Structure 1
Amino acid sequence: MSAEKIKKNAEQTVSEAATTAREELDSLKNQLEQFLNHHVVPTLSDAANSAVTNARDIAEHQKKSVETKVSAKPLLSIGISAVVGFVLGRMSR
């Protein structure tokens, strides 16, 4: 075999290996995208929706709790608000 023939065979082999590797990577990329779109994204979306719903429920519960306490003792609530406002006003200067 001549050196030129060996060189051509090596170039062809490298080219085929690169093409095969590129095809394998494209296939793997497609499989990963399908997996993410079918399994990971919906699960994360459901978890995020659940977290938002839970946060809203907690905020609503806390709001009702504060409303109940304020309506039970309105003068105390006004006094506390005044003191907190005064302290924050003094601290901001």
Structure 2
Amino acid sequence: MTAKTGPEIRSQMRRYIEQRLLMKGDGAPLHDDDLLFTSGRLDSLDAVELVMSIETDYGINFADIGFDLTRLDSISAIAALVGQPSAQPA
């Protein structure tokens, strides 16, 4: 697995989240700091899908780092989480 840069992570997460929002009929603009879960745009099923995607795509194990929905509540928060050295597999 190759390391991805912050802009690459943001771009990939933006595409993924925009697809999920479109499946819900939400075509509103999406900005990096927009709240996804606390705003109600995404729900708990989306959180599970997002966690699975992050674990698969980036090798992050939420059982090891702990689950905190605020760390997934925006594209910026997700990029920060994925970019943290402590979140990366050894």
TM-score range normalised by the length of the shorter chain: under 0.3
Which of 1 and 2 has higher RCO (CA within 8 Å, sep 6+)? 2
User: How high is the TM-score relative to the length of structure 1?
Assistant: 0.23
